[in-house]
A = this chain, B = another copy of it.
């Protein structure tokens, strides 16, 4: 009973690709519900039927970056030296950010401690982090990062790659060959530092010292 849905999977896909094209070509602020609907040739109503609202549409788009992140991260092969593997994973983060520069901010906006674990988008984002944690965990077990745990190292690396990505996407790191060297040197130096025991005065996991 009732009129059957017209806005099905293909309209949904068309809206997403249209939104992605506009976003890729002109940036996030150029994406409007009316415009996306007009490109597809449907009404704004379709957006509100298929996604809840504009945020839902953008949220679906950020699945795109999250998937790009996952792809690059899981494409990194296992290596004998976990240090080499972590460096490659950092460069995978860079590659994903450069592949979807306009979506990168959307991706990082998903990072939140209050994220719902059952949310498929969060789960997808977490897979990339988990890929890194796997190696780090192995390295910690092997005594590569004395006095540190996997989360401490993971957080540090996350902060660094996000900072590097932010700077590069703003053009601060120069052209691509220069930028990749900055990444190599920065991540490399960080990994060297992490292999030394942490300075006293605070626990390595970030919790305050139990005095």
Task: Report B-chain residues with C-beta under 8 Å of the C-beta of A118.
Answer: none
| Complex contact A155–B186 (CB within 8 A) | yes
Main secondary structure of the interface of A (DSSP, over half): helix
Task: Report B-chain residues with C-beta under 8 Å of the C-beta of A152.
Answer: 182, 185
Q: Quick check: which of A6-14, A18-26, A40-48, A159-167 contacts chain B, the rest being far away?
A: A159-167
* Interface positions of A (Cβ within 8 A of B): 108, 111-114, 148, 152, 155-156, 158-164, 166-167, 170-174, 177-179, 181-182, 184-186, 188-194, 196, 198-199, 201-204, 206-209
Of all chain B residues, the one with the shortest Cβ separation from A193 is B193
A115 CB to nearest B CB, Å: 10
Task: Report B-chain residues with C-beta under 8 Å of the C-beta of A194.
Answer: 189, 193
| Complex contact B178–A188 (CB within 8 A) | no
Cα A199 to Cα B191 with chains together (Å): 11
Cα A148 to Cα B177 with chains together (Å): 18
Task: Report B-chain residues with C-beta under 8 Å of the C-beta of A190.
Answer: 156, 160, 189-190, 193
